Amino acid sequence: MAHETLDCRRLLCPMPVIRVQDRVAELQPGDELEAICTDPGVMQDIPAWCRINGHQVLEQKVEDDEYILRIRVGEPSP
């Protein structure tokens, strides 16, 4: 299972969501992706995007003004 990190610092929503979306499209179900962001909007938008598209948010936290979300890629829908 891949564990990847994605630097979304300084990007404003929805750019971090787009980056996550495009990266997730290249990953396999079960892989994990950690997105490091600076726009607080991601705390709403990335989980919403995950719910819609069937991915799981494993963790979301704030560290030194950075918003970090860990995602597990879900199964593709039929």
Q: 17 or 72: whose CB is closer to another protein?
A: 17
Residue 11, strand partner residues = none
Q: What is the Rg, in whole angstroms, of the alpha carbon atoms belonging to the chain?
A: 11
Rule CB under 8 A: choose which of 1, 7, 10, 66 binds another protein: 10
Residue 4 phi, psi dihedral angles, 5° rounding: -120, 160
User: Cβ 77 to another protein, closest distance in Å?
Assistant: 7
CB of 45 to another protein, least distance (A): 5
DSSP E strands: which ranges in 1-78? Answer: 3-8, 32-37, 56-63, 66-72
Q: Residue 4 in 3-state DSSP?
A: strand
User: Rule CB under 8 A: which of 44-63 touch another protein?
Assistant: 44-45, 48-49, 51-53
Task: By CB under 8 A, name the binding residues for another protein.
Answer: 10, 12-15, 17-18, 21, 38-41, 44-45, 48-49, 51-53, 77
